[in-house]
């Protein structure tokens, strides 16, 4: 188990900037690599358009590409 996996094991994590590239990548990595994470909270700022619900749906539906 890596140090990051040990650190988030059975803990809650707050991620700010969730709708950006790094935020999506970080949440994807936590959810796929850290099965023992308790809860992942994401913070999204309110904008004028689109609504928070629309932005969340867009982020959830988008694919995250990584460079190997």
What are 19-41's pLDDT values in tens digits?
888 888 899 899 999 999 999 99
Please tell me the distance from the alpha carbon of residue 27 to that of residue 9, in angstroms, as a whole number.
14
Please tell me the distance from the alpha carbon of residue 43 to that of residue 67, in angstroms, as a whole number.
25
Element containing residue 13 per DSSP (H, E): strand 12-16
% of the chain at pLDDT higher than 90: 34
Q: How would you classify the pairing of strands 12-16 and 39-43?
A: parallel
Q: Global pTM? A: 0.75
């Amino acid at each position: 188990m890596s140090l990051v996996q040990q650190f988030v094991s059975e803990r809650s994590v707050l991620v700010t900037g969730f709708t950006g590239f790094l935020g999506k990548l970080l949440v994807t990595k936590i959810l796929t690599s850290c099965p023992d994470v308790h809860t992942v909270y994401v913070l999204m700022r309110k904008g004028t358009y689109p609504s928070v619900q629309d932005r969340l749906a867009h982020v959830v539906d988008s694919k995250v590409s990584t460079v190997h």
